[in-house]
């Protein structure tokens, strides 16, 4: 996945969220608000919350969610070691059926990290 693809993912996600909001009622808006609030800094740092979101998405095998959390983990400056340990937990919980998602997650991570100033950590 290249920056162009990551950019396309972000643009499509934003566009689709705008459509959802156009048709949303109070319950959908409340869910979106709760989703946003739960990832804010609190007793757990945002970085840890993103890793938790990544593992949950990984176990549930949601590629869009995995992509979103991989991007957020990169933004939160998760290290390679932290990411590998989190994905190892997901692999143990999710089993071998998650291996294709592991491949794609690490490909996205590798490409995001290689494009960051300073390279990989």
What pLDDT score was predicted for residue 115? 76
What pLDDT score was predicted for residue 1? 45
CATH number of 3-115: 1.20.1290.10
- 4-41 burial by CB neighbour count: b if 16+ within 10 A, else e? eebeebeeeeeeeeeeeeeeeeeeeeeeeeeeeeebee
pTM: 0.89
Task: Say if residues 70 and 109 touch (Cβ distance below 8 Å).
Answer: yes
Domain boundaries, the chain: 3-115
> Residue 2: pLDDT above 60?
no
pLDDT digits (tens, 9 = 90+) for 62-112: 999 999 999 999 999 999 999 999 999 999 999 999 999 999 999 999 989
Report the mean per-residue pLDDT for the chain.
93
């Amino acid at each position: 996945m290249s920056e162009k693809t990551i950019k396309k993912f972000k643009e499509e996600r934003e566009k689709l969220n705008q459509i959802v909001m156009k048709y949303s009622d109070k319950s959908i808006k409340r869910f979106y608000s709760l989703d946003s609030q739960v990832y804010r800094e609190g007793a757990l740092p945002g970085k840890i919350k993103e890793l938790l979101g990544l593992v949950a998405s990984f176990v549930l095998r949601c590629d869009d969610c995995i992509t979103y959390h991989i991007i957020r983990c990169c933004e939160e400056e998760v290290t390679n070691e932290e990411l590998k340990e989190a994905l190892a937990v997901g692999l143990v919980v999710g089993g071998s059926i998650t291996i294709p998602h592991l491949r794609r997650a690490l490909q996205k991570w590798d490409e995001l990290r290689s494009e960051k100033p300073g390279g990989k950590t």
